[in-house]
Amino acid sequence: GTVVVPPVTTNPPTGTPAVIYTTTSAKVHSGATRSYKVISTIVANKGLTVIGEHKGADGIWYNVEISATVKGWIFSGDVSTTKPGNFVPSKVITKEATNVRKGATTNYTSLETVAKGSILTYLGSFKNANGETWYNVQTPKGNKGWVLSTLTEVK
């Protein structure tokens, strides 16, 4: 038979999870069956943004975003919608224009202001004396600094 590759949708269908987490080392394919080429292998406990879904003969496949330019398909049996207890974020995405600061309070000077939607590399987190959680990040320009958690989303 012919294999029909479903179109990539920008808004996942209702009921499709926004984020999934790999339960094991999982392969991302160029299409929605295991016969497609493997384009990436994702380590266990990694969060992935879901941009679409396809119900195939073998079950549900999620269209996921590996990076800003790379998208692929991962089998639902290799992932969970529950964030694992040992989840370690790998990236921090800004929800608005955000200052990357020298330290973990707003008293520190800004090293760089990054635009909304910027993808920063997650290095660690810290809860300051005010009870605020700050993420230690590296910007695309290579600056290492701190961003307030409420202005961002971890993946």
What is the value of pTM for the model shown?
Answer: 0.52
Give the whole-angstrom CA distance, residue 29 versus residue 40: 7
The answer to which of 19-33, 36-50, 85-99, 140-154 has the lowest mean pLDDT is 85-99
Tell me how far apart the alpha carbons of residues 54 and 11 are, in angstroms, rounded to a whole number: 13
pLDDT given at position 110: 97
Q: What is the rounded CA–CA span in Å between residue 83 and residue 150? A: 19
Q: What is the mean pLDDT of the chain?
A: 87
* pLDDT of amino acid 14: 61
Residue type, 118: S
Tell me the CB-side half-sphere exposure of residue 31, using CA atoms within 13 A. Answer: 10
Q: What is the pLDDT of residues 94-151, one digit of tens each?
A: 999 999 999 999 999 999 999 999 999 988 888 888 889 899 999 999 999 999 999 9
Predicted local confidence at residue 9, as pLDDT? 47
Sequence-ordered list of residues with C-beta below 8 angstroms from that of 142, at least 6 positions apart, any chain: none
